[in-house]
């Protein structure tokens, strides 16, 4: 972990938050301010500290900030997690600690943010940075293809197994299923050279959400979108 991320965890004391829907306890970090409330949601294999630069900037502008380490990420315990669980945590945080004026999600955290809206939570502003998926099935197909296995058989098996255990269908978490119903103001930021999340994902979500703005950046990959000055400035202008 970089020094700046270690510094984030040293400067921000964690608070335990129990998500009833996910049935898990996660660590959250509060930066109190007199301005509007913002919730930060990181992506897969990531953590709250990845937002260190944006949070530092917004702290100086007196926003009231909450960031979360999802189950099995950052300083939160648990051995595994999945997208529906991310969505459950975001939903409960908004329900119990909100309302939040703005939600800022990166990668799969951006998909979880949209799902929280579908589940019934309201945010005036939604900021999606490098959104990680439009449809869910292609993610699973890509994973299965790495092993040279039958995509049709194994993807269906994984979906059926999850539905049997959890009662929910993974494909329903794709923004392709519900983005057209979202009414909030939405800013979508993606870099053209993102190798982890296809820029077409951002374009498709932008097409679906009627009140959205798309900023397509260059040479920022998947993670540098979180530390770029122009990106941070654009987000601040949007939510202010």
pLDDT (average), residues 129-158: 77
Cβ-contact 91, 121 below 8 angstroms:
yes
The count of C-alpha atoms lying within 13 angstroms of the C-alpha of 1, restricted to the half-sphere facing its C-beta, is 17
Q: What is the average pLDDT score of the chain?
A: 91
Q: In terms of C-beta density within 10 A (0-12 exposed, 13-18 middle, 19 or more buried), how is residue 121 classed?
A: buried
Minimum mean pLDDT range among 76-80, 90-94, 130-134, 199-203: 76-80
Spell out the domain ranges in the chain: 3-135+185-239, 136-173
Q: DSSP assignment of 139-187, as one string?
A: HHHHHHHTTT--HHHHHHHHHHHHHHHHS--GGGGSGGGTGGG--SEEE
Q: Taking 60 as the threshold, does the pLDDT of residue 1 lie above it?
A: no
Return the residue matching tokens 């959250």: 28
Residue 83: the pLDDT is 86
- CATH T-level fold of 3-135+185-239: Rossmann fold (3.40.50)
* pLDDT tens per residue across span 59-108: 999 999 999 999 999 899 888 888 889 999 999 999 999 899 999 999 99
Give CA 168 to chain center in angstroms. 20
- Kindly state the percentage of the chain with pLDDT values over 70: 95
pTM, full prediction: 0.92
Phi, psi of 188 (to 5 degrees): -115, 125
Q: Taking 70 as the threshold, does the pLDDT of residue 215 lie above it?
A: yes
Residue 25: the pLDDT is 96
**In Å, what is the CA distance from 214 to each residue of 206, 217, 224, 228?**
6, 10, 17, 16
């Amino acid at each position: 972990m970089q020094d700046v991320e270690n510094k984030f965890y040293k400067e921000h004391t964690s608070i335990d938050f129990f998500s009833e829907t996910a049935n898990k306890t996660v660590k959250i970090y509060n930066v109190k301010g007199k301005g509007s409330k913002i919730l930060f949601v990181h992506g897969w294999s990531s953590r709250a500290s990845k937002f260190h630069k944006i949070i530092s900037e917004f702290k100086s502008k007196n926003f009231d900030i909450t960031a979360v380490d999802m189950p099995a990420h950052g300083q939160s315990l648990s051995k595994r997690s999945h997208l529906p669980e991310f969505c459950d945590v975001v939903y409960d945080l908004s329900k119990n600690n909100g309302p939040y004026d703005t939600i800022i999600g990166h990668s799969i955290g951006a998909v979880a943010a949209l799902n929280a809206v579908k589940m019934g939570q309201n945010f005036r502003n939604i900021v999606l940075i490098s959104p990680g998926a439009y449809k869910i099935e292609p993610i699973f197909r890509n994973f299965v293809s790495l092993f040279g296995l039958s995509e049709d058989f194994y993807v269906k098996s994984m979906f059926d197994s999850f539905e049997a255990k959890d009662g929910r269908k993974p494909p329903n978490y794709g923004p392709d299923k519900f983005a057209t119903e979202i009414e909030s103001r939405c800013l979508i930021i993606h870099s053209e050279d993102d190798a982890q999340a296809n820029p077409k994902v951002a374009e498709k979500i932008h097409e679906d959400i009627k009140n959205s703005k798309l900023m397509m950046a260059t040479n920022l990959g998947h993670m540098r979108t979180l530390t770029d000055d122009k990106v941070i400035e654009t987000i601040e202008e949007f939510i202010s």
